[in-house]
């Protein structure tokens, strides 16, 4: 009887060998090629994730202003356990010599360095890292010495590193390093180890690092603007309404007469809507009527007529000499003239005849007027940025800017830039600022967030934004937090306008004087730059053209107005006080020091601003309800208030810096607040304090925190 196959005990037969391909089809692997000389594979240091950074690469510059302290960080590390060192390299674009600054370790392979740009325009920034051979050797020697393992060989290695540093040093330090290297080779071992671990030797060697295998990483370039791009206070007025005589067309000379009034309120930028000739074809009438009545002056944004185009001045306003006189007179009062840059034409503009190819045509051959359905702007013709002659169009528009720079204009408020091509703005602004770095541009871009941000990236130094419609605590806190922190703050500067000729918000229409004061204080303290559409805001004009709309009734956009600045109730005195507070307190001249503090009442908004230097702290509380008094408990984040209040990060008595921070005992004592709108003095104590605001009196409080100083007789007083 045959046995089952499973009972077999002998070795199993081997499987047949796998079939091998014929020799003619086999291929030997290619030889490993030597690494190419570039990049050098011996460069072991990695430099990555630098900040500031716009869009994760170096396509667009980060924005700063002249004299800002710019903090640059990067991750710098290498394989293994060697220490690394790094430095910051920077220079104005086109300069030959690099400047440098050390970078300090923050922990977790992160390093930080600072630079202070001292010239306007574009700056190049790089981070360079290398293996710190001497620092690594010194660290390891200290460990060996602690374990009684230091040897002659260790000191010979260190001496060689010092000799190598000497060869990189200038003559004076070279001799010192050569002497120290010799000392490392003679005498007792303990003394030589002590010399090797001397911090002074480490500092001397560190001044002459071995950079042969250093890694350099191109950081984000910087665009350095004039300080007015960071901190400025804008007043808008129509020159044609500057006359004090009802019915008379105002002139540029009338604007000169108004300069003392504008300067007296503390404004340093006077923005003028277009001052060019206005077309007559399809001219708009009062309150945007589609047909103009005899004597109607039309919209200043319908640019161009028989008297010229974008480089001309409306004869009704005056002459080129009058404009130059205005610029000079304003400058004597510390006011810069900002001119509207509206790249569009009336149907009567000379370019319509000279360059019809720059405009879009309908099938019937007529030129397409501007529209935003269902809105129509028959008096305006847009440029066609997709036309075949776009290069000539670009050059002509840049020529307009150059013309007005020649007339003394350094600031341009750009009308609706989001309706023109991004590549044009990027090219034009770069071209202009390369020749005139003191010039900057404000984008009137009430548009989608990504479009608004793109305009900032391609070159606009400031921008309009959604502030007019942010009214609740949640809206204001969320939006201003977004605008004043990276990544947005690295490229976008908000100019907070409370109103414009196009925007009379519902809150201003119905909130009365308290709403105007509330929005003024919010704009002037939340933002380093803010603006008002002057006489209507100053005189609290609040009547819309139609219910539910945001257009002013009898708007200056379409007719002459005469403003009685002395005989009507006015906010001029309060505006002057607020602007004086801004000038006297550096904390309000920057956006990055903003912090919000909790209040147990949603009608109250509390925030602070601290100057980068730390020597100026402002605390603001605003009642967001213009109709009712409100009170609530404020919980201050004392650490966010800067050196004025917060204490050390560790308990100095314990000497243990590893312990968590303890509350600052002195911060629990009373501290003084000077309320700058009413000149009142208050004492608060600790983080939790009560505040109440009645909008019938004043809906806001602006506190300056006073720094406490201890005297020799052991009592507190305030600076």
Residue 179 dihedral angles phi and psi, to the nearest 5° = -65, -40
Closest CA to 579 of 623, 633, 543, 538: 538
Cβ 193 vs Cβ 155: under 8 Å:
yes
| Sign of the torsion formed by the C-alpha atoms of 520, 522, 525 and 528 | negative
Cα pseudo-dihedral 323, 328, 329, 333, rounded to 10:
140
Cα pseudo-dihedral 50, 52, 56, 58, rounded to 10:
-90
CA 563 from centroid of its chain's CA atoms: 36
Residues 6+ apart with CB under 8 A from 6: none
Q: Please pick, among 82, 348, 379, 415, the residue that the annotation labels catalytic.
A: 415
Q: Compute the half-sphere exposure of residue 719: CA atoms within 13 Å on the CB side of its CA.
A: 11
Q: Indicate the helix (H) or strand (E) that contains 458.
A: helix 449-458
Q: Please pick, among 444, 550, 556, 625, the residue that the annotation labels catalytic.
A: 444
| Buried-exposed string 66-105: b where 16+ CB fall within 10 A, e elsewhere | bebebebbbbbbbeeebbbbbbbbbbbeeeeeeeeeebee
Q: Is the N-terminal amide bond of 487 cis, ω within 30° of 0?
A: yes
What would the two tokens of residue 559 be?
Answer: 């007719």
Closest CA to 335 of 243, 250, 237, 248: 237
What would the two tokens of residue 13 be?
Answer: 């037969």
The CA distances from residue 240 to 251, 309, 316, 341, 564, in Å, are 6, 18, 8, 17, 15
Strand runs (DSSP E) across 519-562, as ranges? 529-533
What would the two tokens of residue 59 be?
Answer: 């396509």
444 is catalytic: yes
Cβ 84 vs Cβ 78: under 8 Å:
yes
Closest CA to 619 of 607, 631, 627, 611: 607
Helices 512-526/572-584 angle, 10° precision: 20
DSSP character at residue 62: E
What would the two tokens of residue 310 be?
Answer: 């974008």
Cβ 110 vs Cβ 71: under 8 Å:
no
388 is catalytic: no
What would the two tokens of residue 475 be?
Answer: 């809206």
Cβ 327 vs Cβ 336: under 8 Å:
no
Cα(316)–Cα(208) distance, rounded to whole angstroms? Answer: 69
| Buried-exposed string 495-530: b where 16+ CB fall within 10 A, e elsewhere | bbbbbbbebbbebbbebebbbbbbbbbbbbbbbbbb
Cβ 461 vs Cβ 433: under 8 Å:
no
Catalytic residue annotation:
415, 444
């Amino acid at each position: 009887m045959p046995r089952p196959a499973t009972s077999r005990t002998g070795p199993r037969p081997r499987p047949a060998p796998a079939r091998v391909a014929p020799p003619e089809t086999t291929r030997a692997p290619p030889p490993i090629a030597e690494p190419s000389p570039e990049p050098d594979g011996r460069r072991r240091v990695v430099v990555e994730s630098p900040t500031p950074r716009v869009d994760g690469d170096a396509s667009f510059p980060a924005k700063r202003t002249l004299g800002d302290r710019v903090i640059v960080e990067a991750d710098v590390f290498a394989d293994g356990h060697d220490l690394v060192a790094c430095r910051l390299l920077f220079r104005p674009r086109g300069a030959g010599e690099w400047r440098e600054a050390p970078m300090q370790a923050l922990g977790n392979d992160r390093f930080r360095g600072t630079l202070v740009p001292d010239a306007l325009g574009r700056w190049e920034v790089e981070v360079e890292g290398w293996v710190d051979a001497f620092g690594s050797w010194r660290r390891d020697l200290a460990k060996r010495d602690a374990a009684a393992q230091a040897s002659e060989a260790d000191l010979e290695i260190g001496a060689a590193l010092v000799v190598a540093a000497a060869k990189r040093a200038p003559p004076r330090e070279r001799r010192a390093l050569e002497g120290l290297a010799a000392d490392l080779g003679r005498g007792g071992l303990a003394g030589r180890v002590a010399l090797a671990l001397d911090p002074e030797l480490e500092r001397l060697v560190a001044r002459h690092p071995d950079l042969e295998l250093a890694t350099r990483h191109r950081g984000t370039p910087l665009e350095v603007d004039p300080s007015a791009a960071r901190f400025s206070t804008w007043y808008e007025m129509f020159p044609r309404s500057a006359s004090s005589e009802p019915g008379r067309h105002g002139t540029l000379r009338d604007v000169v007469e108004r300069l003392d009034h504008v300067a007296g309120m503390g404004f340093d930028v006077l923005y003028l809507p277009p001052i060019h000739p206005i077309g007559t074809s399809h001219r708009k009438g009062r309150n945007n009527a589609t047909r103009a009545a005899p004597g109607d002056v039309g919209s200043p944004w319908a640019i161009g007529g028989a008297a010229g185009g974008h480089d001309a001045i409306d004869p009704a306003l005056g002459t080129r000499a009058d404009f130059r006189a205005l610029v000079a007179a304003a400058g004597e009062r510390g006011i810069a003239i900002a001119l509207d840059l509206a790249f569009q034409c009336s149907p009567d503009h000379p370019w319509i005849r000279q360059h019809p190819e720059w405009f879009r045509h309908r099938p019937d051959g007529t030129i397409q007027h501007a529209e935003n359905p269902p809105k129509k702007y028959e008096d305006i013709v847009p440029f066609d940025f997709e036309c075949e002659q776009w290069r000539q169009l670009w050059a002509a528009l840049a020529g307009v800017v150059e013309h007005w720079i020649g007339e003394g204009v350094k600031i341009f408020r750009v009308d609706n830039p989001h309706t023109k091509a991004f590549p044009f703005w990027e090219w034009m602004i770069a071209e202009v600022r390369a020749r005139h770095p003191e010039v900057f541009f404000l984008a009137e871009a009430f548009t989608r967030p990504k479009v608004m941000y793109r305009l900032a990236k391609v070159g606009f130094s400031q921008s309009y934004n959604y502030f007019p419609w942010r009214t609740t605590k949640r809206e204001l806190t969320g939006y201003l937090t977004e605008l004043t922190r990276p990544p947005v703050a690295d490229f976008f500067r908000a100019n907070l306008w409370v109103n414009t000729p196009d925007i009379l918000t519902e809150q201003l229409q119905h909130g009365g004087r308290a709403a105007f004061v509330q929005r003024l204080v919010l704009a002037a303290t939340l933002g380093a730059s803010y603006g008002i559409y002057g006489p209507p805001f100053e005189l609290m004009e609040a009547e819309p053209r139609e219910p539910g709309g945001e257009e002013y009734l009898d708007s200056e956009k379409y007719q002459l107005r005469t403003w009685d600045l002395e005989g009507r109730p006015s906010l001029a005195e309060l505006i002057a006080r607020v602007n004086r507070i801004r000038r006297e307190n550096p904390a309000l001249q920057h956006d990055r020091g903003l912090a919000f503090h909790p209040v147990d009442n949603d009608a109250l908004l509390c925030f602070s601003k601290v100057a980068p230097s730390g020597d100026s702290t402002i605390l603001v509380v605003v009642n967001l309800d213009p109709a009712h008094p409100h009170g609530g408990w404020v919980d201050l984040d004392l650490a966010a208030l800067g050196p004025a209040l917060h204490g050390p990060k560790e308990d100095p008595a314990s000497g243990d810096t590893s312990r968590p921070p303890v509350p600052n005992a002195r911060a629990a004592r009373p501290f003084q607040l000077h309320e700058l709108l009413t000149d009142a003095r208050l004492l608060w104590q600790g983080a939790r304090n009560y505040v109440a605001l009645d909008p019938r009196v004043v809906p806001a409080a602006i506190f300056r925190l006073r720094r406490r100083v201890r005297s020799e007789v052991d009592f507190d007083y305030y600076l």
